[in-house]
Chains A and B, each alone.
Chain A
Amino acid sequence: MTVLRIKNVSKSFGSLVANQDISLTLDKGEVLALLGENGAGKTTLMNILFGHYVADSGEIEVHGKQLPPGATDAAIAAGVGMVHQHFTLADNLTVLDNIILGTQPLTSWRINTTEAKQRLSRLAEDYGIHVEPDKLVADLSVGERQRVEIMKVLYRDARILILDEPTAVLTPQETDQLFKTLSFMVEHGLSIIFISHKLHEILRISNRVTVLRRGQIVGEIATGDADRDILAEMMVGHKVSRPQVKHLTPGAAVIELKNISVEGKRGHKTLLDNVNLRVNSHEIVGLAGVAGNGQAALGNLLSGLQTPSAGTVCFKGEPLTDFSTRRFVKMGIARIPEDRHAVGVVGDMTIWENIINENLREKPLWRFGFLINDKACRKFAAKLIQGFDIRCKNMGMPTKQLSGGNMQKLILARTLQNNPKFILANQPVRGLDEGAIAAVHERLLAAKRKGSGILLISEDLDELLALADKIVVIYHGMLSQPLPVQGISARDIGTMMAGNLGHAATLDKGRSA
Chain B
Amino acid sequence: MDILDLFLHAGFWAATLRIACPLIFGTLGELICERAGVLNLGIEGIMTMGAMSGWIWVYKGGDLWTGLLFAAFVGALFGLIHSIFVVYLGLSQHVSGIGITMLASALSFFTFRMLLPSSTTPPKIVPFQPVSIPILSDLPFVGEVFFSQTPMTYLALAIVPLVIYILYRTPLGLAVRMAGENPMALEAQGINVLSIRTGAVMLGSALMAVGGAYLTMSAFDAFYFGMINGRGWICVALVIFASWRPGKALIGALLFAGIDAFQVRAQLSSSAKIPYQFFLMLPYVLSILAMVVMARRARYPKALLTPFRRGERT
Task: Give chain A's interface residues, CB within 8 Å of chain B.
Answer: 13, 44, 50, 52-54, 70-77, 82, 84, 86, 88-93, 97-98, 100-111, 152, 156
Flag if B302 contacts A101 (CB, 8 Å): no
Q: Give Cα A368–Cα B170 distance, bound, in whole angstroms.
A: 67
Flag if A101 contacts B175 (CB, 8 Å): yes
What 1/0 mask marks residues of chain B from 183 to 222 whose CB sits below 8 Å from any chain A CB? Answer: 0111111111000000000000000000000000000000
Tell me, rounded to whole Å, the shortest Cβ–Cβ distance linking B230 to chain A. Answer: 30
Flag if A111 contacts B188 (CB, 8 Å): no
Tell me, rounded to whole Å, the shortest Cβ–Cβ distance linking A417 to chain B. Answer: 33
* 4 residue pairs, one from A and one from B, having the closest CB atoms: A73-B190, A102-B189, A90-B181, A88-B185
Tell me, rounded to whole Å, the shortest Cβ–Cβ distance linking B173 to chain A. Answer: 8
Q: Is B242 an interface residue (CB 8 A)?
A: no
Q: Is B172 an interface residue (CB 8 A)?
A: yes
A-B contact pairs, 25 of them (CB 8 A): A52-B188, A53-B311, A70-B311, A72-B187, A72-B188, A76-B189, A76-B190, A84-B184, A88-B185, A90-B181, A90-B302, A92-B299, A93-B174, A93-B181, A97-B177, A100-B171, A101-B185, A101-B186, A101-B189, A101-B191, A102-B186, A102-B189, A102-B191, A110-B170, A152-B189
Question: A101 — which chain B residues lie within 8 A by C-beta?
Answer: 171, 174-175, 178, 185-186, 189, 191
Nearest CB in chain B to that of A102: its residue:
B189
Flag if B174 contacts A97 (CB, 8 Å): yes
Question: A108 — which chain B residues lie within 8 A by C-beta?
Answer: 170-171
Total contacts A-B at CB 8 Å: 93
Flag if A89 contacts B182 (CB, 8 Å): yes
Tell me, rounded to whole Å, the shortest Cβ–Cβ distance linking A125 to chain B. Answer: 23
Nearest CB in chain B to that of A266: its residue:
B296
Q: Give Cα A28–Cα B303 distance, bound, in whole angstroms.
A: 38
Contacts A92-B181, A102-B189 supplied; 14 other A-B pairs, CB < 8 Å:
A52-B311, A72-B187, A74-B190, A75-B190, A76-B189, A86-B184, A88-B189, A89-B182, A97-B174, A100-B171, A101-B189, A106-B171, A110-B170, A111-B170
Question: B302 — which chain A residues lie within 8 A by C-beta?
Answer: 90-92
Flag if A110 contacts B190 (CB, 8 Å): no
Which of A76, A84, A103, A111 has the most CB atoms of chain B within a 10 A radius of its CB? A111
Q: Is B169 an interface residue (CB 8 A)?
A: yes
Q: Is B60 an interface residue (CB 8 A)?
A: no
Q: Is B313 an interface residue (CB 8 A)?
A: yes
Flag if B190 contacts A102 (CB, 8 Å): yes
Q: Give Cα A470–Cα B191 distance, bound, in whole angstroms.
A: 49
The answer to whether residues A110 and B187 also contact, given A13-B313, A101-B174 and a CB cut-off of 8 A, is no
Residue from the list A44, A53, A75, A104 in contact with B171, Cβ < 8 A:
A104
Q: Give Cα A193–Cα B249 distance, bound, in whole angstroms.
A: 47
Residue from the list B170, B181, B186, B311 in contact with A91, Cβ < 8 A:
B181
Q: Give Cα A92–Cα B311 distance, bound, in whole angstroms.
A: 25
Question: A97 — which chain B residues lie within 8 A by C-beta?
Answer: 174, 177-178
Which of A44, A72, A75, A101 has the most CB atoms of chain B within a 10 A radius of its CB? A101
Nearest CB in chain B to that of A87: its residue:
B185
Question: A109 — which chain B residues lie within 8 A by C-beta?
Answer: 170
Question: B185 — which chain A residues lie within 8 A by C-beta?
Answer: 88-90, 98, 101
Tell me, rounded to whole Å, the shortest Cβ–Cβ distance linking B88 to chain A. Answer: 16
What 1/0 mask marks residues of chain B from 155 to 185 whose CB sits below 8 Å from any chain A CB? Answer: 0000000000000011110110110011011
Tell me, rounded to whole Å, the shortest Cβ–Cβ distance linking B20 to chain A. Answer: 28
Question: B182 — which chain A residues lie within 8 A by C-beta?
Answer: 88-91
Flag if B190 contacts A72 (CB, 8 Å): yes
Flag if A93 contacts B187 (CB, 8 Å): no
Interface residues of B in 279-299 (CB under 8 A from A): 299
Question: A152 — which chain B residues lie within 8 A by C-beta?
Answer: 189
Nearest CB in chain B to that of A109: its residue:
B170
Tell me, rounded to whole Å, the shortest Cβ–Cβ distance linking A89 to chain B. Answer: 6
Q: Give Cα A86–Cα B183 distance, bound, in whole angstroms.
A: 13
Residue from the list A44, A71, A102 in contact with B175, Cβ < 8 A:
A102
Tell me, rounded to whole Å, the shortest Cβ–Cβ distance linking B182 to chain A. Answer: 4
Q: Give Cα A89–Cα B302 distance, bound, in whole angstroms.
A: 11
Tell me, rounded to whole Å, the shortest Cβ–Cβ distance linking B58 to chain A. Answer: 33
Flag if A100 contacts B174 (CB, 8 Å): yes
Question: B171 — which chain A residues lie within 8 A by C-beta?
Answer: 100-102, 104-106, 108, 111
Nearest CB in chain A to that of B173: its residue:
A111
Question: A53 — which chain B residues lie within 8 A by C-beta?
Answer: 311
Nearest CB in chain B to that of A106: its residue:
B172
Tell me, rounded to whole Å, the shortest Cβ–Cβ distance linking A139 to chain B. Answer: 14
Question: B299 — which chain A residues lie within 8 A by C-beta?
Answer: 92
Q: Give Cα A496–Cα B281 distance, bound, in whole angstroms.
A: 60
Q: Give Cα A454–Cα B260 distance, bound, in whole angstroms.
A: 63
Q: Give Cα A274–Cα B5 distance, bound, in whole angstroms.
A: 60
Flag if B178 contacts A93 (CB, 8 Å): yes
Question: A93 — which chain B residues lie within 8 A by C-beta?
Answer: 174, 177-178, 181
Which of A44, A71, A102, A156 has the most CB atoms of chain B within a 10 A radius of its CB? A102
Q: Give Cα A100–Cα B174 distance, bound, in whole angstroms.
A: 9
Flag if A88 contacts B174 (CB, 8 Å): no
Residue from the list B169, B178, B190 in contact with A111, Cβ < 8 A:
B169
Q: Give Cα A114–Cα B203 distance, bound, in whole angstroms.
A: 30
Q: Give Cα A103–Cα B188 distance, bound, in whole angstroms.
A: 12
Question: A54 — which chain B residues lie within 8 A by C-beta?
Answer: 311
Q: Give Cα A103–Cα B185 distance, bound, in whole angstroms.
A: 13
Tell me, rounded to whole Å, the shortest Cβ–Cβ distance linking A359 to chain B. Answer: 33
Q: Give Cα A111–Cα B168 distance, bound, in whole angstroms.
A: 9
Question: B191 — which chain A residues lie within 8 A by C-beta?
Answer: 73, 101-102, 106
Question: A92 — which chain B residues lie within 8 A by C-beta?
Answer: 181, 299, 301-302
Question: B177 — which chain A residues lie within 8 A by C-beta?
Answer: 90, 93, 97
Question: B301 — which chain A residues lie within 8 A by C-beta?
Answer: 92
Q: Give Cα A103–Cα B184 distance, bound, in whole angstroms.
A: 16
Flag if B169 contacts A110 (CB, 8 Å): yes
Q: Give Cα A106–Cα B166 distance, bound, in whole angstroms.
A: 11
Q: Give Cα A156–Cα B299 distance, bound, in whole angstroms.
A: 30
Q: Give Cα A508–Cα B26 distance, bound, in whole angstroms.
A: 66
What 1/0 mask marks residues of chain B from 303 to 314 whose CB sits below 8 Å from any chain A CB? Answer: 000000011011
Q: Give Cα A31–Cα B23 distance, bound, in whole angstroms.
A: 57
Question: A82 — which chain B residues lie within 8 A by C-beta?
Answer: 188
Which of B177, B188, B190, B191 has the most CB atoms of chain A within a 10 A radius of its CB? B188
Residue from the list B186, B187, B189, B192 in contact with A52, Cβ < 8 A:
B187
Q: Give Cα A89–Cα B184 distance, bound, in whole angstroms.
A: 8
Q: Give Cα A481–Cα B172 distance, bound, in whole angstroms.
A: 52
Tell me, rounded to whole Å, the shortest Cβ–Cβ distance linking B176 to chain A. Answer: 10
Q: Give Cα A111–Cα B167 distance, bound, in whole angstroms.
A: 11
Tell me, rounded to whole Å, the shortest Cβ–Cβ distance linking B8 to chain A. Answer: 40
Q: Give Cα A74–Cα B187 distance, bound, in whole angstroms.
A: 12
Question: A77 — which chain B residues lie within 8 A by C-beta?
Answer: 190
Q: Give Cα A244–Cα B6 distance, bound, in whole angstroms.
A: 85
Tell me, rounded to whole Å, the shortest Cβ–Cβ distance linking B177 to chain A. Answer: 7
What 1/0 mask marks residues of chain B from 9 to 47 whose CB sits below 8 Å from any chain A CB? Answer: 000000000000000000000000000000000000000
Question: A84 — which chain B residues lie within 8 A by C-beta?
Answer: 184, 188
Nearest CB in chain B to that of A18: its residue:
B313
Q: Give Cα A40–Cα B203 distance, bound, in whole angstroms.
A: 43
